[in-house]
């Protein structure tokens, strides 16, 4: 396809997949259970953090985690007693276990008590050089202030070249805003024009087939390459094409 034909094709797929029906089969639905900003942030972050593997299992386990937190993720994060935290010992999603879960909550407590919350943390990092890369790097450093060596494998580190798919997906949820209502658009300190594509096996495979990505590794350099290509189609909202690439890969087996 030539450039204009490809843009038209992808725009059509964005319209097809970027609608409320998408929520029914996507982990973003867990955050949509809440209305308070902090609940949405924490539910979204935890759901995105375990978003690998079978999507039905991700949704089931993320919902189970909300149940363990009394369906009040912000209050639980801020005030759970040691015995209440101990409930999380039973949580497991693939290689993410109860110890990892407890560390996540303890680190989130530190972030909300000492760093102004997730929004302030990511936006402070973004302000360093006006890039999502710096936001993600800053977040990683603060998230592991409490050590948590075992849990480091569950949080991508862009300083080591990781694609950070789950963190970029989380940022899409919280930053991006349009009429569809899938993404929340709650954070205003990071422009959606700066967002980076959540690169996974589906978006990368479709991107290569469409000539948007040449690099073979699914790493940060590939995130930059494919997002730069998508930015030529819509500089103000490049990651809206996540819906098109993901939908083509998952739903249409493109």
- Helix 201-209 / helix 241-250 crossing angle, nearest 10 deg: 100
The backbone torsions φ and ψ at residue 96, rounded to the nearest 5 degrees and listed phi first, read -90, 115
pLDDT in tens, the chain (254 residues): 899 999 999 999 999 999 999 999 999 999 999 999 999 999 999 999 999 989 999 999 999 999 999 999 999 999 999 999 999 999 999 999 999 999 999 999 999 999 999 999 999 999 999 999 999 999 999 999 998 789 999 999 999 999 999 999 999 999 999 999 999 999 999 999 999 999 999 999 999 999 999 999 999 999 999 999 999 999 999 999 999 999 999 999 88
Number of domains in the chain: 1
pLDDT for 9: 98
Taking the model in full, what pTM does it have? 0.97
pLDDT for 127: 98
The backbone torsions φ and ψ at residue 239, rounded to the nearest 5 degrees and listed phi first, read -85, 0
pLDDT for 145: 95
pLDDT for 162: 98
Range of the structural domain that residue 125 is part of: 3-250
């Amino acid at each position: 396809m030539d450039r204009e034909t490809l843009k038209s094709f992808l725009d059509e797929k964005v319209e097809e997949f970027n609608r409320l029906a998408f929520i029914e089969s996507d982990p973003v639905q867990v955050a949509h259970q809440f209305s308070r900003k902090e609940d949405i942030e924490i539910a979204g972050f935890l759901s995105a953090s375990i978003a690998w593997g079978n999507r039905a299992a991700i949704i089931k386990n993320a919902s189970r985690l909300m149940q363990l937190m009394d369906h009040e993720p912000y209050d639980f994060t801020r005030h759970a007693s040691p015995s209440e935290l101990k409930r999380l010992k039973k949580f497991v999603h693939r290689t993410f276990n109860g110890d990892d879960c407890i560390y996540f909550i303890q680190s989130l407590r530190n972030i909300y008590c000492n760093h102004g919350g997730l929004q302030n943390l990511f936006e402070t990092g973004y302000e360093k050089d006006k890039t999502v890369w710096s936001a993600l790097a800053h977040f990683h450093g603060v998230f592991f202030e409490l050590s948590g060596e075992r849990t480091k494998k569950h949080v991508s580190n862009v300083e080591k070249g990781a694609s950070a798919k789950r963190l970029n997906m989380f940022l899409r949820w919280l930053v991006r805003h349009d009429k569809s209502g899938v993404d929340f658009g709650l954070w205003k300190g990071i422009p959606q024009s700066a967002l980076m594509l959540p690169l996974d096996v589906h978006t990368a495979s479709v991107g290569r087939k469409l000539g948007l990505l040449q690099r073979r590794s699914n790493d940060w350099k590939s995130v930059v390459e494919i997002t730069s290509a998508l930015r030529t189609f819509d500089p103000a909202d490049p990651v809206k094409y996540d819906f098109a690439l993901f939908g083509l890969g998952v739903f249409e087996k493109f």
